[in-house]
Structure 1
């Protein structure tokens, strides 16, 4: 089933992750990938559902071809569902990285969280709403077709696929869309998005336990033993939901620390030195001025690079007297500067827009305050203290 929208916050030194699979296309400009794990579900659906089609239509080997078409329709329904999330998110100005279809459904990777509970609600609800509308339309058309014909079977498959995707995703627990709806409601009532995320994530964990128990409960009520396929699917879905809920809890803890990010407080003190100064001289200057970092200037006094700590440490004491700082410095770019007044979400947004290892922190008048390392930001949002020196 669909995982819905994934609005986890990237860290400031995240790079674009590797392509997760085969690029299917870019509908409405959104890249859509399918992973190799999709074939696992496609084969299972074909084998299991093919026998059902054969009993209904007696098509022989073609029954398995029609069953494979159902697997394709199921994932096409997931794709339409995810596109609804993505387009509504983009309509609210939130960047959508891509859609990924995988073994248990799909996910829309949205790079920022919705700023209000109302927008969170509509981004989450758009997917199930479209799925249920498609299910209703296909259900109506199916009643106009012969149920024992190929078109009738395909229409039956289409409304069943969309009904499954829509209803399953309305279950009230993260990482499902229903979990995001629950989060939006709790957020609206309490005004605390962190609390809302924790409630919705624990809702997902409770649902995961119920999904594991359902095959056994149904079998017990029928006075029989649960089927092996029911147990396998129950465990798979429950595992997916439990891991997604756990990830949501971790993300909630991270987001709770974001308001504490302040560029001014995280900036490391720096000393500026000319490019031809030996490392030994830069070390002395840094010690004298109590600086943690060394930045390198050109002939005009403009900061052009930053001494790379690992590269500098690799230089032996005997060589530091004649190796210039420029040899162990990393060049800065046009995006290597942030304002000292940036805090919280604004600071994180600026850093993730142009992920770099370090940034110059400047006052409003252009004066250099210090150096901000992405590793220090990651340490804070991970609950650790930044390393200095």
Structure 2
């Protein structure tokens, strides 16, 4: 969502409001105000009560999202932000839970908070001697929190129930991507049901539903479709390893080359690379050399000094095992600032460099090419 307005922080979590929220706030104030106008006297009081109810409703939505956030934080997962928008709220987490059960806990936490608020408001409304206006607000909030919990438990993404379903399928299959895909498909079905129901209601074919139902349906359909697309890409990535996405002809040179040989064979006429991985006789990584480093040695000495004399250490956090799945590689790129990773096999031999662009190139290849490329190489006996 673009154009979000930062309001502040809640328990260290950045809190935003999307401009669309003001529209639903105005509509809520108008609708609740009309309800209050039927039972309260005064020209201004019903609208003040309507605004108060709308704000308290969104405070309940915020509490719902804080429930998700608290569950995530308890698992060591950071929360990037909480945003209120026209269709409710959204807590952006830094990463997924590590197990199906943990994923379930994060998903169910929001609805549980809404159910708790329903219970609290119901008890307060039935036991406390409250003024009529306040009693009405409490009753409305109790009902709306129950509706919020039930609606969010619909088993389709992007709703909380969809995340519960995703966790369940993940547990049954051992594959989080399958959970994501199935929950997304169910979300798309519910989206189409909402759109159809709302459209029939708009044309007075059925009594239940409205234009708002259509809009909610489109929201579910769009977001579930994006989740399904993401699941398919993640599943595809999970079938490849870092080795499959190595850049062809990666910049690798031997430590035993003289600087003159290095310049003649690798630098002159090469505008693509400005930094090269350095390997020993066994092909193992020993360092890296940048073309800028050549300035430190007079050209008259290039025939005498080797690449080894100018190479510098390579940090371990820029290295990755060849057998690691591309899905994990992509997640690492998202979390790290590194633009390149050095792919190394189990024997420490350097296979080459890996970038985001090389992953994109791999995925964009025709399926038959990918199948050929990913075939295991014959091992000499």
The TM-score bracket by the shorter chain reads 0.7 to 0.9
Offset of residue 383 of structure 1: 6.9
Question: How many angstroms apart in 2 are the aligned matches of 1:334 and 1:142?
Answer: 62
Question: How many angstroms apart in 1 are the aligned matches of 2:175 and 2:277?
Answer: 46
Question: How many angstroms apart in 2 are the aligned matches of 1:306 and 1:108?
Answer: 45
Question: How many angstroms apart in 2 are the aligned matches of 1:176 and 1:80?
Answer: 16
What does 1:169-184 correspond to in 2, within 5 Å?
169-184=152-167
Question: How many angstroms apart in 2 are the aligned matches of 1:154 and 1:108?
Answer: 26
- The answer to whether the Cα contact below 8 Å between 2:333 and 2:339 also exists between their aligned partners in 1 is no
Offset of residue 40 of structure 1: 0.7
Gaps of 5+ in 2: 279-285, 293-312, 370-381
Tell me the equivalent position of 1:337. 318
Tell me the equivalent position of 2:226. 247
Alpha-carbon distance change, 121 to 172 in structure 1, aligned in 2, over 3 angstroms? same
What does 1:109-258 correspond to in 2, within 5 Å?
109-145=92-128, 149-215=132-198, 230-258=209-237
Offset of residue 170 of structure 1: 0.5
Alpha-carbon distance change, 96 to 365 in structure 1, aligned in 2, over 3 angstroms? farther
How does the TM-score come out when normalised to structure 2?
A: 0.75
- The answer to whether the Cα contact below 8 Å between 1:121 and 1:180 also exists between their aligned partners in 2 is yes
The CA deviation string for residues 32-83 of structure 1, in whole angstroms up to 9 with x for no partner, is 2111110010111111221111112224212112111222122211111111
Alpha-carbon distance change, 384 to 303 in structure 1, aligned in 2, over 3 angstroms? farther
Offset of residue 121 of structure 1: 1.3
Query: How many positions carry a matched residue from both structures?
Result: 336
SS state at 2:194 partner = helix
Question: How many angstroms apart in 2 are the aligned matches of 1:112 and 1:203?
Answer: 23
Is residue 65 of structure 2 the alignment partner of residue 86 of structure 1? no
How does the TM-score come out when normalised to structure 1?
A: 0.73
Name the structure, 1 or 2, with higher relative contact order (CA <8 Å, separation 6+).
1
Tell me the equivalent position of 1:374. 356
Greater Rg, structure 1 or structure 2? 2
SS state at 1:56 partner = coil
Alpha-carbon distance change, 275 to 74 in structure 1, aligned in 2, over 3 angstroms? farther
- The answer to whether the Cα contact below 8 Å between 2:77 and 2:97 also exists between their aligned partners in 1 is yes
- Greater mean deviation of Cα atoms: 373-382 or 56-65: 373-382
Gaps of 5+ in 1: 1-17, 308-331
Alpha-carbon distance change, 294 to 167 in structure 1, aligned in 2, over 3 angstroms? same
Tell me the equivalent position of 1:5. none
- The answer to whether the Cα contact below 8 Å between 2:197 and 2:214 also exists between their aligned partners in 1 is no
Offset of residue 265 of structure 1: 3.5
SS state at 1:57 partner = coil
SS state at 2:11 partner = helix
SS state at 2:352 partner = strand
Question: How many angstroms apart in 1 are the aligned matches of 2:137 and 2:109?
Answer: 25
- The answer to whether the Cα contact below 8 Å between 1:260 and 1:343 also exists between their aligned partners in 2 is no
- Greater mean deviation of Cα atoms: 240-249 or 259-268: 259-268
Alpha-carbon distance change, 342 to 32 in structure 1, aligned in 2, over 3 angstroms? farther
Task: Report the aligned-residue RMSD.
Answer: 3.8
- The answer to whether the Cα contact below 8 Å between 1:32 and 1:98 also exists between their aligned partners in 2 is yes
